[in-house]
Amino acid sequence: MLLECGSPRAALAAYRDALDELGKAAPDRVVLGAAHASFAAGDDAGAIVLYRRVLASVGALPGVERKLAHALVRRGEDLEEALSLLERTDSQLNDAEAKNEQWLMRALANAKLGRPDAARELLQRASSDSERAHELRDQVTEQLERGVTPRA
């Protein structure tokens, strides 16, 4: 409820308490809630660990795979895996805004991997209709200007 009310940090604290108490016996729905709260709070490292834990337990969940991919792209980690997840789940999106964000995340991953042609092609497909899309487009453009940024 805290997450839905716009308090991701408070939600994350509550989920962490639950995970600490339950340990490995935590139900998948608690782990997933903690992953979503981590993602919303900007804790991409935590979200990645928790989303992977859910997927290992439950199997393919397109929405979870998309969130995992977004967190990976934002951190600049495992970008090939992120692209694979985004491409695999792309056809399952019916919402134009979500598909647009997906293209922009793919563009950002390609830009971080040093693939400017692929990034620019995806940028051309995407619109900047929402504030989020505009922000992502700016991130892609900035990354293209900087070039590849290898992670240590």
Q: Please write the tens of the pLDDT for every residue from 34-87.
A: 999 999 999 999 999 999 999 999 999 999 999 999 999 999 999 999 999 999
Per-residue confidence (pLDDT) for residue 130, from 0 to 100: 86
Asked whether the whole model's pTM tops 0.85, one would answer yes
Mean pLDDT, range 90-102, rounded to an integer:
89
**Contact status, residue 57 vs residue 28, Cβ threshold 8 Å:** yes
Per-residue confidence (pLDDT) for residue 2, from 0 to 100: 57
Phi-psi region of 7 (alpha: psi -120 to 50; beta: other; left: phi over 0): beta
Per-residue confidence (pLDDT) for residue 140, from 0 to 100: 95
User: Which residue, 27, 21, 23, 77, is CA-closest to 47?
Assistant: 77
Per-residue confidence (pLDDT) for residue 117, from 0 to 100: 97
